[in-house]
Structure 1
Amino acid sequence: MRIEGATALVTGANRGIGLAFAQALLDHGAATVYAGVRDPSTVADPRLVPLALDITDPDQVAAAAERVGDALIVINNAGTASGTGLFEGALDGARREMEVNYLGTWSLARAFAPVLARNGGGALVNMLSVASWRARVETLGYTASKSAEWALTNALRTGLREQGTLVVGVHAGYVDTELVSHIDAPKISAESVAEQTMQAILHDQPEVLTDETTRSVKAALSHTVQGIDPVGITTR
């Protein structure tokens, strides 16, 4: 599908991967890119249109769908990580991860499904993670929320097929952002994640496996449970 001339919405677009998504859309000729963020004052790129949007707030989600009624591309990037582990950390953190990463993404997809249908189908992109498939004891709350978001993404492909909406799931291991700046490990750039996603939109591809770690873990899903080794896999 096309990007040039399109109106797009990117959630969490004030920094990191979300900002890279928004800038890549502009670089590919998008006419208008809305940056959906909780605090519009944090949107520094003057080319973006700030939009107050907390994806866990039903009223703000509904208002966003009404304001961006000409959206052709919607990128669900907003997310959170609390660090809640299997045996340590408050479960409130895990609840927040599920509320934002899973239910917030679901809420936004529901609100924008009819918008995309009216505009000819368009594309809905969900920023997932290699953690969708491989849990770590130390960050179980996050990985569980991403597994749920992956299941949601698969269901959206089925549910939005008839209206012609391309649903893209983007998976990545470590991405070089502030979130994992304290981790000493190979990382892919946010710009690479964004550009690979633009190519998926342009060529109607439903899934993006952004790095070798992600491709290896996805391939391992067909192995036995013992063959899926969680060591070294963390959040994006």
Structure 2
Amino acid sequence: MPKLEHGVVLVTGANGGLGAHFVRQALDRGAARVYAAARRPQEWGDERIVPVELDVTDPASASSAATAASDVTFVINNAGAINGSSVLDDDLTGVRALFETNFWGALIVANAFAPALREAGGTLLNVLSALSWVGHGDSYSATKAALWSATNTQRMKLAVDGVHVAALHLGYADTPMTTGVDSVKLAPADVVRTAYDGIEAGEYEILVDDLSRRIKAGLAGPVEGLYPELRRG
């Protein structure tokens, strides 16, 4: 099973709510080095943390980051965005922008670091959502559903090269991205702890909370089970 101890980890969106916990907890588990990747990388005050400039939507930026961090054994595909757009908008510019980060950006990062992960027999973790499985998040759900599908393909294609591909599904975490959400929120530290536990256990789909487990179980039933508003009478 993949172990973080002595590993080399790259975290995208490292400055964010979950990202910072991914960085710190990797070190807590014995990682030798963590590349903290962000569009505007910050200083961390720890020589084991290496700031890396990375715009996930820019293939050239991802290629440069992959060259700088060619010794990675774990890639945490955490960078994400939300912008309030809807798939029913007449102008789909906002939806396209969301796909650029949440879908295309995640693929760009995964492809840039795939050679290093193949060399190391490493691990890719895509941070998804319980909203990967239901449309209540509108355009955000659409981006995560697309990435869930792509993750399954990555998992099959990269397994033959010894790369473990895992997906993280959760409800709302208490981060700046969910400030306007009126719902029960998970503690980011608990989310990341579960994610790393799952990676080290060799899990393929890591379900953080009961909400994610209920929604996934509901996929096997009638669509009205997931969308009560569709029920007649």
Tell me, in whole angstroms, the C-alpha distance in 2 between the residues paired with 1:183 and 1:122. 35
Tell me, yes or no, if the aligned pair for 1:58 and 1:107 is still in contact at 8 Å.
yes
SS in 2 for 1:46: coil
Tell me, in whole angstroms, the C-alpha distance in 2 between the residues paired with 1:98 and 1:15. 19
Amino acid corresponding to residue 54 of structure 1 in structure 2: D
Within the candidate set 142, 145, 152, 1:144 is matched to 142
Deviation at 1:182, TM superposition (A): 2.7
Q: What residue in structure 2 maps to residue 61 of structure 1?
A: 62
SS in 1 for 2:82: coil
SS in 1 for 2:167: strand
**C-alpha RMSD of matched pairs (Å):** 1.5
Cα gap change, 1:123/1:32 in structure 2, threshold over 3 Å: closer, same or farther? Answer: same
Q: What residue in structure 2 maps to residue 128 of structure 1?
A: 128
Amino acid corresponding to residue 45 of structure 2 in structure 1: P
Deviation at 1:164, TM superposition (A): 1.0
Unaligned runs of 5+ in 2: none
Cα gap change, 1:202/1:230 in structure 2, threshold over 3 Å: closer, same or farther? Answer: farther
Tell me, yes or no, if the aligned pair for 1:36 and 1:52 is still in contact at 8 Å.
yes
Say whether 1:108 aligns with 2:113: no
Tell me, in whole angstroms, the C-alpha distance in 2 between the residues paired with 1:15 and 1:59. 22
Cα gap change, 1:130/1:230 in structure 2, threshold over 3 Å: closer, same or farther? Answer: farther
Unaligned runs of 5+ in 1: 232-236
Q: What residue in structure 2 maps to residue 45 of structure 1?
A: 44
SS in 2 for 1:142: helix
Tell me, yes or no, if the aligned pair for 2:43 and 2:51 is still in contact at 8 Å.
no
Tell me, yes or no, if the aligned pair for 1:135 and 1:230 is still in contact at 8 Å.
no
Deviation at 1:180, TM superposition (A): 1.4
Give the count of matched residue pairs.
226
Q: What residue in structure 1 maps to residue 188 of structure 2?
A: 190
TM-score (norm 1): 0.92
Instruction: State the Cα deviation string for residues 43-73 of structure 1 (Å, max 9, x = none).
Output: 2532321111001111111111111111000
Within the candidate set 218, 221, 233, 1:220 is matched to 218
Cα gap change, 1:86/1:62 in structure 2, threshold over 3 Å: closer, same or farther? Answer: closer
Cα gap change, 1:177/1:90 in structure 2, threshold over 3 Å: closer, same or farther? Answer: farther
Q: What residue in structure 2 maps to residue 173 of structure 1?
A: 171
TM-score (norm 2): 0.93
Q: What residue in structure 2 maps to residue 163 of structure 1?
A: 161
Amino acid corresponding to residue 226 of structure 2 in structure 1: I
Tell me, yes or no, if the aligned pair for 1:14 and 1:44 is still in contact at 8 Å.
no
Cα gap change, 1:58/1:230 in structure 2, threshold over 3 Å: closer, same or farther? Answer: farther
Tell me, yes or no, if the aligned pair for 2:87 and 2:95 is still in contact at 8 Å.
no
